[in-house]
Each structure stands twice: as structure tokens, then as C-alpha cells.
Amino acid sequence: MKSILKAALISTALLSFGGLAMAKETVVWWDFLGGGDGVRMKKLIEDFNAEHADTVEIQATTLDWGVPFYTKVQTSAAVGEGPDVMTYHASRIPLAVSQGTLKEITADDWTAMGLGADSFASTTWGAVSVDDKQYAVPFDTHPIVLYYNKDKLDAAGLIGADGLPAGLDGIDNFKAAMKKLQEGGTKYGMATTTADGGFSFRTIYSYLCQQDGDIGTDGNWLPGDNAEKLTKAVQVIADWVKDGYAPGYTDYPSAVALFTSGESAFMINGVWEVPTMVDLEKQGKLFNWGAIELPVMFNHACTYADSHSFAIPNNVGKDATPEKHAAVLEVIKWMEAHSLFWATAGHIPANKAVNESAEYKAMQPQATYAKLLSNMVFDPKSKNAGVASPLFDAAGNAFAAAMNNEVDAASAVQEMKSTLEALQ
């Protein structure tokens, strides 16, 4: 009996002192990355842990994307139970800051990581800033792009001398191209998520930006002639559906299936579908394909983008020790330095040092669409904006019907405007 007690005491002592002696920091990590993103992030975390076997260990948990993730972060941070570091959409930062969920990334932090405003595209840097303070470290930029079936475009004579699609700019030119493709035996010109107005908001918002339009912000939604511009943007997709270029009421998986099965020559979707194409191509189940920046329908190029970034939650009543904080910064720094691998998931690395490297420039089709970095637009800076936000919801409610010509675009825009104005 005595010896058992002794053994227990010794082992307890060993455990507690042992922890101190090794001084290994554990970084609790939450992300919302599934699919191809999740697989790649898991690999990065494993590599990190292997490299830091004696110093830092990431304990990662993947949670459900969208409102559930952000609600959990908000509620757990409020009681000091949040993680040490987490992934965050740049577009959600204004709301998070208004709720006090995020810790500022201070100048010292930036110095410690060897990063700063110069390391990122200015739009991306702006997206993580609120009132000139930064609340996250951008990891990537993930815009929407135009995927195309190169075989079909080739047959229709739509591939230019540089090997890229040509003659797609302008509403009429684009329709003409789709018409040519359909006459060549393709069922649809375009597959895009017409069943989900929230998802399609990304495309519509891009077309609004191409007209120098602005969605406005709290208390001043759609000022001036922006309602008309938004109407025109919605009308582009509504016309595709009306004229039979794009199938109506198509949900996300169906849009992908229509494109990968060759039934549709184009698809507008996020860059995160690049791994799907790469995998299918590897298995020999896909045609020649590519992805480019969205063609210009109006005045100039502009594409919606968001950014996966790293944020540190403001764990109320539980400040991180300096050691822990240093470990967190080390994690972020390492991830930023290794984001070339992340680019295989389709995303454009936010770190200029990476996206301007020769390795990235050799990566296709990533390098082709990376030029849109200078033409991108993020969500408006509002606590009601961002992915899975009331703004997305309002768009979903208004535009699902409009894209499928159940209501006209102008009244859908009015409905969205009144919904936004009713937000508190």
C-alpha cells in the first residue's frame, strides 16, 4: 500500500515538473477547413509539429464552417475558453472586432514574425485592418475564377495565341462565345450556383465592382445609382439563365458536376475547386482545363475575393503567457513561410515573398489567375457583411429568385436594400 502511494506521488511530481523542464508549448488551433483545404492544412500542421518536436506542438481541431464556427469562437472567447490561434475569414473581421472577439496583431507581433504591410497586397492588408489596426495575418487570397474546358473552347476557336481563352470580355461577347460552344454540342455555356443567391453574390458583387459600384455600408446601403448598377450585375446572370446558357436552380455540387462531366464549358466558382480538377485530371477523368480571372463584363476587371487569415482570439480573463504568445507567432510565421504548399489548394498565398517566387509562377493555373490580385474587391467593411453574414443572407433571399427570372432584377435589388436597411 505504501509503495503504491509513493509511486503515485512520484509520478505526479514527475508529470508536473516534467512539463516545466521540457518547456514545450502547446498551441490549441481551430480551423474550419474541410475537403482539399483540410487535407493540405493537416499536412502543414504535421510538418510543423515534426519540425518543432521539442518546442511547440499544434493541437488542431476542425469545426463546421460558417455561422456555427463563428458563434463558437465568439462564445468561447467570451468565457476564456477559445483556442490560442484560429483561421478566420478576413470578411468576418469587422463583426468580430465589434464583438471584441479578436486580439490586435501589434507592431511588435509583426516584427516578431518578420512580416508587415509590405508583405501583402494592399487590398488584403486593408481587409484585415479596422481603424488602422490589424486583427489577423492574411494567409491567402481566395477569389472566384472562371474555369473553362479547354478542349471545347479550342474546338470553338476561343483559345488565343497565348494558349488562354480569348474574346470573352463584354456581356455580348461572352454570350456569343457561349452560343458558339452550345452550337458545337455542349449542353450549357455556363454552370454556376444559380440556386444559391448567397453564393452567387460573389459573382454579382464582382460585376458591381466592374462598374465602380459600391454596396455601401450600415446606414447607407446602395447609395446613389448603385442600385441600378447592382441591377445590371444581377441581370447578367438572369439573362444567362433566361437565354438557356446557364441552367436555373443549380446548387453547388450540381454546378461542379455539370462542369466536370463536360456538360458545361464554363464554371464560375472559387479557387478552392482547383484541387478537384487536379485530382480528376490525375485520375485521367478530366479534359484539358484551365482557370482565369473573371472576364470583364463592364468597365474594368474586378473580382470578389476573401482571405483566410490567422487570428488570435481575445480570451477574456485568460491572457496567454509570453511563451505561449511567442509560440503562436512562431506557428503563424512558419505557416506564412510555407504557404506555397497551400497554393496547391488553389488559393493565392497572401505572402508576397511566396506568390512572387519562381516556384509559384510555375504553378498552373494558379499563376495565370494570380494577376487578379491587383483587381480584387473584398466585402464591404461592415459588421453585417462577410461570408455567411446577414448581407449574404439578404443577397440569397433576393437574388435566388431574380437569377431564375421569377422576379425582375430591379425589384430583387429593392428587396435586398430594404432588408439591409432593416438590419440593426
Partner 1 sequence: MRRNRVTEYATAAVLVAPFVAIFGWMFIYPTIQMVFLSFTNAPLIGNGVWVGFENYIRMFQDRIFWNAVWNTSYFVLLTVVPGTAIALAIALMVTRLKGRTQSLILAAFFLPYVLPITVVYLIWDWLTNFQFGLIQYVIEPIMGKRINIWRTIPWFMPSAAILTIWWTNGFSILLFLAGLRNIPRDLYEAAALDNASRWQMFRSITWPLLWPVTVLCLTIQLILQLKIFDQVYLFAQGGRTQATMVLVQYIYEQAFQKNSGGYAATISVALFVIVVIFSVLQYQVLRVRGEK
Applying CB under 8 A, the residues found at the interface with partner 1 are 67, 71, 74-75, 78, 95, 99, 193, 195-199, 247-251, 254, 257-258, 383-384, 388-390, 393, 396-397, 400-401, 404, 419, 423-424
> Do residues 338 and 87 make contact, with C-beta atoms less than 8 angstroms apart?
no
Residue whose CB is less far from partner 1, 216 or 390: 390
Q: Which amino acid is at 265?
A: A
Residue whose CB is less far from partner 1, 254 or 368: 254
| Closest separation in Å from C-beta 234 to partner 1 | 15
Residue whose CB is less far from partner 1, 198 or 295: 198
| Closest separation in Å from C-beta 270 to partner 1 | 14
| Closest separation in Å from C-beta 405 to partner 1 | 12
| Closest separation in Å from C-beta 98 to partner 1 | 8
Question: Helix, strand or coil for residue 101?
Answer: coil
Residue 413: closest CA among 242, 206, 207, 235: 235
- Rounded distance between C-alpha atoms, residue 232 and residue 229, angstroms: 5
Residue whose CB is less far from partner 1, 99 or 344: 99
Residue whose CB is less far from partner 1, 397 or 414: 397
| Closest separation in Å from C-beta 249 to partner 1 | 3
Query: What is the distance in angstroms between the CA of the first residue and the CA of the last residue of the chain?
Result: 66
Residue whose CB is less far from partner 1, 138 or 247: 247
Residue whose CB is less far from partner 1, 141 or 250: 250
| Closest separation in Å from C-beta 78 to partner 1 | 4
| Closest separation in Å from C-beta 82 to partner 1 | 12
Which distant-in-sequence residues (6+ apart) come within 8 Å of 148 by Cβ? 165, 265, 266, 267, 289, 290, 291, 292
| Closest separation in Å from C-beta 406 to partner 1 | 8
Residue 61: closest CA among 97, 99, 29, 96: 29
Residue 329: closest CA among 138, 141, 137: 137
- Rounded distance between C-alpha atoms, residue 373 and residue 47, angstroms: 28
How far is CA 38 from each of CA 87, 88, 254, rounded to the nearest angstrom? Answer: 12, 14, 22
Which distant-in-sequence residues (6+ apart) come within 8 Å of 371 by Cβ? 293
The DSSP line for 384-422 is: T-STTSHHHHHHHHHHHHHHTTSS-HHHHHHHHHHHHHH
Which distant-in-sequence residues (6+ apart) come within 8 Å of 151 by Cβ? 287, 288
Residue whose CB is less far from partner 1, 241 or 311: 241
Residue 61: closest CA among 79, 82, 92: 82
